[in-house]
Homo-oligomer: A and B are copies of this chain.
Amino acid sequence: MAKSGRDEPEGRPTGHDVARAAGVSQATVSLVLGGKWQGRVAPRTAENVREAARALGYRPNLAARSLRTGRARTALLVVPALTNDFFAGVYTGAVEVASAHDFGLVLYPSPEGTAPARDPFASARAALDGVIASSMAVESLAELRAGGLPLVMLDSDASDADAAVNFDVADGMRQVARHLLGLGHRRIAHVASAVDSWTFTVRAHALARTVREGGGSLVRTERGELSVTGGLEAATRVLTETGAAPDAGRPPRGTAPPTALVCDDDLLAAGALKAARRLGLRVPEDVSVTGIDDVAVARAVEPELTTLRLPATGMGAAGMRALLGVLDGEKEGDRETVLPVTLLPRASTGPAPTG
């Protein structure tokens, strides 16, 4: 193991050290390295300063800069979980826009999942100019608001935020429902998220309504945590308790069995696929399954999932742009962005079984 660089001769070099080496004042160093020297410092002097800074390995102390300027050019992105690649997309999109505006982006996965984030500020510890929160439950708003920082909400109930970016999930659910109705499905079950956040409430309403309007019926809703296991358990309940699975050994309880399972995300849908297989049902011949998100698992499983592509990267980018707008004191318009979603029909859905 090499030695740590901490105990170098003079410790970490400061602007004064650079100034001494370049034979100028510390103020000049600041001007040059801050890129504000044009017309104020001789080009030759500026070059000397840069040279000295390089030689010493100088890096400005961010704490000092941020204390002085009162801003950190840093935003915090709060997400519920890292176990879903969806948030990788959100981060990627946001960080790209942030970088382009010379902003830093600190990622904070809330340890409580979609539940209230326990003081993300304490954990992030960075000096922050604003917060972007993705897919958080309403209860976390108070905590997030506590910092008094500008707040942009993503894929969430945004009534208390400074700006919002959402997917058109209602339209998405309509697309899913119409896709299934078009395939002849009339009895549909909803494998829903156990977490009751805004986006899932909207999904449930849009699904119920579209199915009803299309002449079908939502025969059952079972909730599961957003994981493969959660989906497996919830879908198993749906399939056995409605009598959809012939081998289940449990009598139907009067409900007609569903021919399609609409799942609130791809992880749940992957679990539903497993449930069907274990109960001896073929997908999509006996039962169709749909997901939402289009994360990697959607194409990892067999059959590949018919799902809704939600533009995660676009949402992250739009969220960062919205935050920048709020920070610039942008007028109150343009504060709510809605991103379209696309249905991706794949092999997990097919014509409803006849008979």
| Inter-chain contact B326/A302, CB cutoff 8 Å | no
A267 within 8 A of B: yes
Q: Which of A23-31, A77-85, A182-190, A213-221 contacts B (4 or more CB under 8 A)?
A: A77-85
A149 within 8 A of B: yes
B residues near A161, Cβ cutoff 8 Å: 1-2
B residues near A332, Cβ cutoff 8 Å: 1
A19–B67 CA distance with the chains assembled, in angstroms: 20
Taking the full assembly, how many copies of this chain does it contain? 2
Q: Which residues in chain A, 72-94, are within 8 Å of chain B measured between CB atoms? A: 72-74, 81-83, 85, 87-88, 91-92
A201 within 8 A of B: no
- A67-B61, A88-B83, A228-B296 are contacts. A162–B4 as well, Cβ < 8 Å? yes
| Inter-chain contact A1/B163, CB cutoff 8 Å | yes
- A83-B85, A99-B123, A296-B83 are contacts. A148–B8 as well, Cβ < 8 Å? yes
A39–B340 CA distance with the chains assembled, in angstroms: 62
A74–B63 CA distance with the chains assembled, in angstroms: 12
| Inter-chain contact B296/A1, CB cutoff 8 Å | no
A6–B328 CA distance with the chains assembled, in angstroms: 12
A164–B125 CA distance with the chains assembled, in angstroms: 25
Residue of B nearest to A296 (CB): B228
Residue of B nearest to A74 (CB): B125
- A57-B146, A126-B106, A162-B4 are contacts. A81–B88 as well, Cβ < 8 Å? yes
Q: Which residues in chain A, 155-193, are within 8 Å of chain B measured between CB atoms? A: 158-164
A300 within 8 A of B: yes
A277 within 8 A of B: yes
- Of A61, A127, A159, A162, most buried by chain B (CB within 10 Å of CB) is A127
A37 within 8 A of B: no
Residue of B nearest to A88 (CB): B82
A321 within 8 A of B: no
A145 within 8 A of B: yes
Give the number of chain A interface residues (Cβ < 8 Å): 76
A319 within 8 A of B: no
A14 to chain B, nearest CB (A): 11
A244 within 8 A of B: no
Mask of A206-237 contacts with B, CB within 8 angstroms, 1/0: 00000000000000000000011100000000
| Inter-chain contact A300/B302, CB cutoff 8 Å | no
B residues near A62, Cβ cutoff 8 Å: 63, 125-127
A53 to chain B, nearest CB (A): 13
B residues near A92, Cβ cutoff 8 Å: 82, 109, 111
Residue of B nearest to A295 (CB): B83
- A72-B125, A125-B74, A302-B301 are contacts. A88–B109 as well, Cβ < 8 Å? yes
Interface residues of A, Cβ cutoff 8 Å to B:
1-6, 8, 12, 57, 59, 61-64, 66-67, 72-74, 81-83, 85, 87-88, 91-92, 95, 99, 104-109, 111, 121-127, 145-151, 158-164, 227-229, 267, 270-271, 273-274, 277, 296-297, 299-302, 326, 332, 335-336
List 12 additional contacts besides A6-B149, A297-B300; criterion CB under 8 Å. A2-B161, A4-B148, A8-B148, A61-B127, A81-B88, A82-B87, A82-B91, A83-B88, A104-B122, A296-B297, A300-B301, A302-B302
